[in-house]
Chains A and B, each alone.
Chain A
């Protein structure tokens, strides 16, 4: 590979030919201010904040658009550059409202950051500022503030180059230039979460997150988006530790922009907007019951089943973690000759199918790959199994993620099957009508409330991390399975964490052999099924 060697602020650096000065500087830890530049988008060179001095060039030049050349001598921090950067920043702020106290961007705003770093502390501008539209809704998820916009066109380029939906453009010119949509319509391209993320200032903001929280109260948790089989790496930003209605999702890798929009839109809405499920049994008339009592009852039924008391049917879910799926299978094995499957629909056939040229895949579940890899696929899918139960009955029907059955069109089949089964256990995060058909409802947490691993479309095993404590009286599926296995006298170590479960599982699953939970790299590891 051809390389060039140049000097930046006295440091020598060798980079591949074609690298821009701003990127070359980054490799040696020199952070040049930028607004319009984004490594995932084409270069616009319009904000002029990244000016640097290149020796032998008469004018300062924008480092985002200047390609590093052999022998180049660059200064990013000398007096001339500082003066120019301050000038650009002051000009940028002349027509900026500086309404930071009510701006959601405050705390992670590049205008604030660079102002503190290089800015002037008193503006020379004394005239009335140019007024533009504020508080503009761009349905369904965005809020726009034309006065805060610095016209960097990142958003325009994102819609042109990434989603190719061309939603945004520039109208007017000069000081009246604005970002707008055609005929003021909204922006709904499936990646709007990324739009407010790439906007370097508080011009494009999330409607859901609006006025919820000052960002400095948020704590980032590395996680994986559960909304499709791509499994984009995200941060779940949470505050208050316990419960957070202001949690949000953010992309984790800066170069893979365009990810995790759904999670970014609302981390909390990964499940239907009904009340959370509560643990209960049929006899308790819907009143929540103590976990121990319920689990003892279930364990008793499992033991009975193991003693040959008829047929056991278990239906898993591609929303569970690998550890949970593995333990579920173990649980059903312990219960004797059980039928088990995870195929709730045909999504498992679309796990690798792309939905667009950006990131989304047609399989809207996070772990179909994991379920298949861990051997949860039987000979019949969920619908067939339920119909069989209707025909021939079962002593025990064990259904995970029952709150998904309504949307999947499986609620009636589940109800009919439940009517014919001797004993019905359902796990659910949220309440729904179909739970009434269960003998026992075990409340489980949502994806942001548990640890574990998920396996994406390319069999990449990645970590999910608990960001918030469960908001309702729930136990993780993992905890429930370990407890039931222990009560049923199965040979299972006293697992209490996802880490222990993973390591125990990895020792038994050839595809995972050699892997440890703690040793999983930042972006997971691709395994061979």
Chain B
């Protein structure tokens, strides 16, 4: 659909003009749907290569109620998360995202402001993947609910230190071993959340559960 939508513009202005948009390797524009803690969530057509922060601040109205940015999921829930620090110099194009070890994916950008519980948001994500698993193949059918329960145990205060390694162990058993990419889609965010926000998981362990206030966040 997105591709088809670009055709009238290309017909009117010519392929060359379209190719000039974007970066040398990521040409043209893309639709991004931005949601979460921004003032003007919505779907935007953006020239590839635009710095992420420019998009968030100048187009999506900036982070809600002037809060500080905490993290961004740049391309749908299945891609590795970016920390606020990483967001500073990343642009909306394929190469730039790849450099940070993540992807533009579906173009669904989720913005999280300071005060968002990373563990809880991962819990929501893993619950989603566990629910979405069709159950056809073993690693995903059995792995996604296990991941969800493990992450939930951090929120509930029932997790122990070795559970962080166990999450990685389950991820290894799932990653790349399934019929379709749904299992990978659950593993990639899980791994990145723990890698980049390990402190917060440890904080949950120390606190015996979630130290953040209940929903709604922020």
* Binary interface encoding of chain B residues 91-123 relative to chain A, with 1 for a CB under 8 A from any of its CBs, else 0: 000000000000000000000000000000000
Q: Which of A89-97, A180-188, A385-393 contacts B (4 or more CB under 8 A)?
A: A89-97
User: Contacts A59-B176, A84-B177, A124-B169: A174 and B134 contacting too (C-beta < 8 A)?
Assistant: yes
Q: CB of B54 within 8 A of chain A?
A: no
- Interface size of B by CB at 8 A reads 27
Task: Collect the chain A residues with CB atoms within 8 Å of residue B138's CB.
Answer: 46-49, 88, 91-92, 150-151
Closest CB in chain A relative to B87 CB, distance in Å: 29
Complex contact B135–A174 (CB within 8 A): yes
Q: CB of B161 within 8 A of chain A?
A: no
- Alpha-carbon separation in the docked complex, A49 to B177 (Å): 9
Q: CB of A51 within 8 A of chain B?
A: yes
Question: What residue of chain B has the Cβ atom nearest to residue A89's Cβ?
Answer: B138
Q: CB of B136 within 8 A of chain A?
A: yes
Within 8 A of B (CB), among A67-81: none
Complex contact B137–A46 (CB within 8 A): yes
Q: CB of A216 within 8 A of chain B?
A: no
Complex contact A125–B146 (CB within 8 A): yes
Q: CB of A87 within 8 A of chain B?
A: yes
Q: CB of A45 within 8 A of chain B?
A: yes
User: Contacts A91-B139, A94-B146, A127-B149: A84 and B173 contacting too (C-beta < 8 A)?
Assistant: yes
User: Contacts A46-B179, A84-B173, A91-B142: A124 and B134 contacting too (C-beta < 8 A)?
Assistant: no
Q: CB of A173 within 8 A of chain B?
A: yes
Q: CB of B178 within 8 A of chain A?
A: yes
Task: Collect the chain B residues with CB atoms within 8 Å of residue A60's CB.
Answer: 176-177
Task: Collect the chain B residues with CB atoms within 8 Å of residue A528's CB.
Answer: none
Interface range, A side: 20 to 34
Q: Which of B18-26, B77-85, B125-133 contacts A (4 or more CB under 8 A)?
A: B125-133
Closest CB in chain B relative to A30 CB, distance in Å: 20
Within 8 A of A (CB), among B128-171: 130-139, 141-146, 149, 166, 169-170
Complex contact A175–B149 (CB within 8 A): no
Task: Collect the chain B residues with CB atoms within 8 Å of residue A95's CB.
Answer: 142
Task: Collect the chain B residues with CB atoms within 8 Å of residue A87's CB.
Answer: 139, 172-174, 177
Complex contact B177–A175 (CB within 8 A): no
Q: CB of A407 within 8 A of chain B?
A: no
Task: Collect the chain B residues with CB atoms within 8 Å of residue A91's CB.
Answer: 138-139, 142-143, 146, 170, 173-174
- Alpha-carbon separation in the docked complex, A49 to B138 (Å): 9
Question: What residue of chain A has the Cβ atom nearest to residue B160's Cβ?
Answer: A126
Q: CB of A176 within 8 A of chain B?
A: yes
- Alpha-carbon separation in the docked complex, A90 to B139 (Å): 9
Complex contact A173–B177 (CB within 8 A): no
* Binary interface encoding of chain A residues 178-220 relative to chain B, with 1 for a CB under 8 A from any of its CBs, else 0: 0000000000000000000000000000000000000000000
Partner of A88, one of B133, B149, B177: B177
Within 8 A of B (CB), among A206-241: none
Complex contact A174–B177 (CB within 8 A): no
- Alpha-carbon separation in the docked complex, A173 to B145 (Å): 12
Closest CB in chain A relative to B123 CB, distance in Å: 15
Q: CB of A172 within 8 A of chain B?
A: yes
Question: What residue of chain A has the Cβ atom nearest to residue B133's Cβ?
Answer: A174
Question: What residue of chain A has the Cβ atom nearest to residue B176's Cβ?
Answer: A59
* 27 A–B pairs (Cβ distance < 8 Å), ordered by A: A45-B137, A45-B179, A46-B137, A48-B179, A51-B177, A87-B173, A87-B177, A88-B173, A88-B177, A91-B170, A92-B138, A92-B142, A95-B142, A124-B170, A125-B146, A127-B149, A130-B145, A151-B136, A151-B138, A170-B135, A173-B135, A174-B131, A174-B134, A174-B141, A174-B144, A175-B130, A175-B141
Residues of B within 8 A of A (CB): 130-139, 141-146, 149, 166, 169-170, 172-174, 176-179
Residues of A within 8 A of B (CB): 45-49, 51, 58-60, 83-84, 87-88, 90-92, 94-95, 124-125, 127, 130, 150-151, 170, 172-177
Given pairs A46-B138, A60-B176, 12 additional interface contacts (CB within 8 A): A46-B179, A47-B138, A87-B177, A88-B138, A92-B138, A94-B142, A94-B146, A124-B166, A130-B145, A174-B130, A174-B131, A175-B144
Closest 7 CB pairs of A and B: A87-B173, A177-B135, A91-B142, A174-B133, A59-B176, A175-B145, A174-B135
